[in-house]
Structure formats: structure tokens, C-alpha cells
Structure 1
């Protein structure tokens, strides 16, 4: 799960394993495997970094 910020400045969490596609138009649009789309303030590079950090924690067993 990664924490993101919507355009309304409210934080929410999505399951990083369900991200299918990222586009920047100029905001980042996340498309999930179920077709839901979310527009967020973070750049695509920031989202990718968060997903990598999340995956590293999972593989290490570090759930803090």
C-alpha cells in the first residue's frame, strides 16, 4: 500500500500491486487493474519511488 495525495489535498492509500498504468497529463493519473482512475499530486517518478520502497519492505519483511 502506498500513500498518495489527491488534488483536494486529502491523503489516501492504494494497493500498489493493482497499478496498471501511470500517465502524466500534467497531473499523474493512476489507472488500476479494475479500471478505476485516480488523479494525484505526486509525479510519476515519486509514485514509482513509493512503489519500489513498498516492494523492498515486503521482500525484507519490514512492516514498520
Structure 2
């Protein structure tokens, strides 16, 4: 799980495997696989960094990427 901060300052933990998308609109919105949404203080790159750090992934081969294929593969893996 990764720690993120809601806009009101509350810290929450989310299962990074169940994150479907993260949008910057300009607020950062985390959308979970079940459809639940969280508006958070962290930036999109910070969320990516925390997910990658969670798995001790080296910078040259990140688990989370902005690429469409990487996103589809990650969602598929999380749901199966």
C-alpha cells in the first residue's frame, strides 16, 4: 500500500495494485478499480514514484509508466 494525502490533509493508504488511473486535472485524482475516486495533494509523478518505490523498482525499469501499453498491462495484471 502507498500513503497519499487527501486535500483536507487526511493521510490514507491505498492498494497500488488497485489503482486504475491517476489524472492531473489540475488536481491529482486517483481512480481505483472499483470506481472510487480520491482527490489528493500529491502530484501524478509523485504517485508514480511511490508505486515504483513500493516494489523497489529501479529507475531504468519502472513498474508504473505513463505509456499506454504499460498502463494496460498493469491494469490487466492487477485484475487477474
TM-score (norm 2): 0.68
Pick the structure with more strand per residue: 1
Q: CA RMSD in A?
A: 1.1
Alignment correspondent of 1:56: 56
TM-score (norm 1): 0.84
Alignment correspondent of 1:22: 22
Q: More relative contact order in 1 or in 2 (CA 8 Å, sep 6+)? A: 1
Give the 5 Å matches for 1:37-52. Answer: 37-52=37-52
Deviation at 1:27, TM superposition (A): 1.1
Aligned length: 57
For residues 20 and 56 of structure 1, the distance between their equivalents in structure 2, rounded to whole angstroms, comes to 20
In structure 2, runs of 5+ residues without a counterpart are 58-80
In structure 1, runs of 5+ residues without a counterpart are 58-64
